[in-house]
Amino acid sequence: SYRLLSKRLLCANTYHFAVEAPLIARKIEAGQFVIIRPHIFSERIPLSICNWDREKGTIEIIVSAVGKTTTEINAMNVGDTFEDVVGPLGERSSLPATAGTCVLIGGGYGTGAIIPTARDLKASDNKVIGVVGARNKEALIMVPELQAVCDEVIVTTNDGSSGMGGMVTDALREILLREKVVYVLAIGP
């Protein structure tokens, strides 16, 4: 039925949703995505998955209102249903051939999309470093969730209001100077 089970405000115009989607939850893997159409007359848009629960039959998405359809989704409430959800689509995230230090970079709502891959890398005995970037501290999202699946998380803000001042690439540069990195995944603007 693709019913919205929960809705949580993360920051301005950005929400975390849990969606009833048992067939998708049964098959989804890290790095895959879904295409959602909130209403019969809406466009279809791709959205990354930030988590799922196979037993409960749920998937979790993050939606930042940047256009007409994402604004429509963010106006929906718990109990509402999406017209359709197609997935899982795309390839699962590739993993490094040998264990080592892996860096996962999330910018804005891309932070949620790196969490499943971070979890897989950690389960494969890799050292996992997460880097989260945002314009300012008010725009940071999903930091505790990323901390739960990483060995280390570095926060960057463009204005320096939280964590390291600068861009996620500044943090990556520092990591590359101190560690041999075998894998980098970046999702964001």
Per-residue pLDDT reduced to its tens digit, 44-95: 999 999 999 999 999 999 999 999 999 999 999 999 999 999 999 999 998 8
At residue 42, what are phi and psi to the nearest 5 degrees? -80, 160
In one letter, which amino acid is 12? A
Closest CA to 58 of 142, 13, 2, 10: 2
d(CA 19, CA 16): 10
Confidence of residue 3 (pLDDT cuts 50, 70, 90): very high
User: Cα–Cα distances in Å, from 169 out to 8, 14, 121, 177?
Assistant: 29, 23, 21, 12
Torsion of CA 108, 112, 115, 117, to 10 degrees: -90
Query: Would you say residue 189 has pLDDT above 80?
Result: no
The gap between the terminal CA atoms of the chain, to the nearest Å, is 31
CA distance 49 to 45: 13
Q: What is the pLDDT of residues 117-170, one digit of tens each?
A: 999 999 999 999 999 999 999 999 999 999 999 999 999 999 999 999 999 999
HEC per residue, 43-110: CCEEEEEEEEECCCCEEEEEEECCCHHHHHHHCCCCCCECCEEEEEECCCCCCCCCCCEEEEEEECCH
